[in-house]
Structure 1
Amino acid sequence: MVKPNLPHPLPGAVGLSHLSAYDWEAADGVCGGSPHLHLVCTEAYVVTGGRGAVQTLSPDGYRDIPLEPGSIAWFVPGTVHRMVQGGDLRITVLMQNSGLPEAGDAVFTFPPEVLADPDKYVAAAAIPPGTGAETAAAARRRRDLAVEGYLALREALVVGDSGPYLEFQRAAARLVRAKVPNWRELWRAGALATVERTGAQLDALEAGEPAYLSDATAYEAAPTRLGGFGMCGRRDEYNLPGTTLPYGGE
């Protein structure tokens, strides 16, 4: 295995993207994205425009968190979340452990029969590359399938039955288990290396030998793909190593 080399991560080795929530209406009459969870990454929404909400499922039950300019919402691993469009909702997404979501950390809330078969799951999650009508149609079908599974989970959780939600978490963990060695390498090259670099800098400062400051410089970047079809909406991405490379199949 070739180990990843991520020499210039964003601060904290976070992932970064911008989303405009889907305005497609789902089976329950709600417009928004594809419900999913992350296995090891905390995700944050920083609202930059419009109105909407994020619906979450967790051991706390079902929540509907309003989103408006300036508000922030974040969810830890295992929290099912669904972005809801309320009118021109625009969000900057900050993602822990950059590179891991793109490597498969995110799992859709597809119905149990899809989650139980890795091949079916891959087929249901994949969409054609590009930003055209064919890709949009596939992304919408994927969203609708995720909403189908999500609504069943939510209905059970609302009446006090956490069994389907907990089984979804276990099914998601089974789906990604084989990917963990690759995730570990991405984590070591990104988030862990960033933390260790700070430790080395503190050691140097304490020793009175801050030679690392001679490497001071600045970097810049601009979005390299506009309007891609992400899980929650149209997604602007930065092609920075380990940051927001496109999700597989998108």
Structure 2
Amino acid sequence: MSDPGVGVPLRLITIPWSHYCEKARWALDRAGVPYREDAYLPLAHALPSLRAGGRRSVPVLVTRAGAVSDSTDILRYADAFVPSEHALFSGEPGARRDDIEALEERFDRELGPASRRVAYFHLLPDEEGAFALMGGSLRSLEGAGAAPPWWFGRRVFRAYYPIARAVMKRVMRIDAAGAERSRGKLRAVFDAVNERLRDGRPFLVGDRFSAADLTFAALAAPLIVPERHPVPFPFAGLPAVLRELIEALRAEPAGAFVQRLYREQRHRKAGPPAGG
């Protein structure tokens, strides 16, 4: 597949179940930007990311002009391929645009790390749950025609997992105290979104889908497990305490909002720009 207008293949380097990678994937899918997804296990993603010109984190979008190595920058990249009135960041009056950008930044800074730490705190001790998540990711990639590297297999992961888990816990500060702090941040963000939705508005800002909506839905997804997520989360195989948290958050207005956005917006195309 090709980079629109330049004939150079795009690659999206990911950890397939990463919510920041899902944020980037959603924006590219919505804009109709074709790409190949190169998926890696946690930690194993770092070297390919660096080689592509990104950082040690993913997602990294490899384009003709170089690497785009931040999920928000990938959203802005995707905006170039849709009509301005349907762009994730533009097409709104100044105050609304500022509101979208402020919400998107807050979700990136607070919700993303918090939901990841809480989810991993409960999931990492449960090897079978982690294997189920990985297996679902592999099947979804294979079904979409994306071929993981030869070593990206379940047998390799079982041998690799104890090392990966130890490093992830240290690097991401995944412990009881960190998880409790993240629960507090998660609670604050959900309370703010619940309050914003009290008036029945269909989207967080204005009357159309924006970067604020996409970012909230994608970064909350690990703790909502919405239908139509392109990478299936094995809800029944998750630890009981994590399932209870997911069910509680789903019942809130913000959780219902995430589920609706995945049903109504996740696979909707924004369309090419006029004359494009």
TM-score (norm 2): 0.26
Structure with the larger RCO, 1 or 2 (CA within 8 Å, 6+ apart) = 1
Bigger fraction of residues in strand: 1
Bigger fraction of residues in helix: 2
TM-score (norm 1): 0.28
